[in-house]
Structure 1
């Protein structure tokens, strides 16, 4: 599908200029003679943690509803797309044009109700068509595409582990892999906890890791049984822990590392009480 000059002229030229500036800056950073040593040292693999980190920071900014933060974090994420493309281009693999054209063509293919003659009545039909087009693109047979393992594989490979575990747990339960009562999942938790404790005493690190994974997955299932989101729960705990450390540091003029364990415990309790007072609306 091609776009007419009228369509292209409707695009804000300042947006195209801004994108071009970013592309030029990143290319300069990767210049073999005048570029930045850090940027020149990067590979697609070394940049993966930054892609993940920036995606999470975008999500956090959106939740904060702070527009300046959203703009900044989206910019950081866009940088990762441009930088990955530049690194690949330097290696003779692909470039940003291939990335942009690829996603544009995919969007057109998967929206025949917008760019073609297909008629749909609701969002559910759009989703069904999208999934069918994906199957066709991948060259899979309908039977293969419907396999539960095939559906869950993408979660295991692409999502953060805790979120992947939650998604896999949900889909597996919907397919019948489920306990009959909550007591069953609690029994499984106690079984896995015992196996993990035994592994810590008697097994290798590899086996200990495996048993820890089994224990965490069972906790994910417990969360699902009670309608809780484990990712959001852990996010909340992380936030509370950081806030308590911040409150502890407000109660002392020395670094926390300079305190004894007893002093840290006292500061922790004071911080916990102070935050509880704040939540209760007291001063």
Structure 2
């Protein structure tokens, strides 16, 4: 598609969203706020990731369109309030990319990807009036906590903390921490308040993420795979039953589960 066709297509989307947000448009779209649309941004982002993982090119294009809609919609609402426009959003990210890639758009020379990342961090810190030496690790980790899903944020926080030396000496110490947190969680379940139980559950999850990091495993991918396998086994079960799942005994459900598990293992 020629450049002008891309711009025409993008302008059409902008016009459609503006129409939907007009008094003559859609009541649902008109009622939305940046806050009410936040769950859709997260949902659409995950659906893009899922489509990419399946490799379905048509689905990828469709889901990217849904995600782009959320960007345009947020910008439209902000423009109506006089906060910022889509033009400012686009110009801002273009300028940021140029600024953070001086080895492409300037005269900086880099030898490898590590130097690219180092330059990126230096420039990023400078944008906030900081240097890598003055930038507080806690501020950086707080941004991860706010901007990433909890599991991904915990892994990122763990990696960055380890990068400055906040690390165990060996993997046995990591496993020791996991077992320590497991015991505290079990004790909390038996004796503590729900709030304390939740806190200890968080500590236990954080500990298992440390184990995953030490073994170069992605906890998000692992959990995603487990969820997918659970659904696949459930689908196999539903393919062979002749009445609702609620009408089966636990023993019958377990037998169906094991059968589905064996079938999928052979596929």
TM-score when normalising by structure 2: 0.91
Q: 1:175 to 1:84 in 2, by over 3 A?
A: same
Please state whether the residue corresponding to 1:144 is helix, strand or coil: coil
Counterpart in 2 of 1:30? 21
Matches within 5 A, 1:203-282: 203-278=192-267
Counterpart in 2 of 1:132? 122
The offset of 1:254, in angstroms, is: 2.5
Please state whether the residue corresponding to 1:234 is helix, strand or coil: helix
Q: 1:77 to 1:189 in 2, by over 3 A?
A: same
The offset of 1:31, in angstroms, is: 1.4
Following the alignment from structure 1 to structure 2, what is the Cα–Cα distance between the partners of residues 178 and 57?
35
Counterpart in 2 of 1:85? 75
| Equivalent residues of 1:193, 1:215 under 8 A apart | yes
Tell me how many residue pairs correspond in the alignment: 267
Matches within 5 A, 1:1-283: 12-32=3-23, 34-145=24-135, 147-278=136-267
Following the alignment from structure 1 to structure 2, what is the Cα–Cα distance between the partners of residues 106 and 174?
26
Is there any run of 5+ residues in structure 1 with no aligned partner, and where? Answer: 1-9, 279-283
TM-score when normalising by structure 1: 0.86
The offset of 1:227, in angstroms, is: 2.7
Following the alignment from structure 2 to structure 1, what is the Cα–Cα distance between the partners of residues 251 and 62?
41
Following the alignment from structure 2 to structure 1, what is the Cα–Cα distance between the partners of residues 114 and 211?
30
Following the alignment from structure 1 to structure 2, what is the Cα–Cα distance between the partners of residues 230 and 95?
37
Aligned-residue CA RMSD (Å): 2.1
| Equivalent residues of 2:122, 2:131 under 8 A apart | no
| Equivalent residues of 2:44, 2:66 under 8 A apart | yes
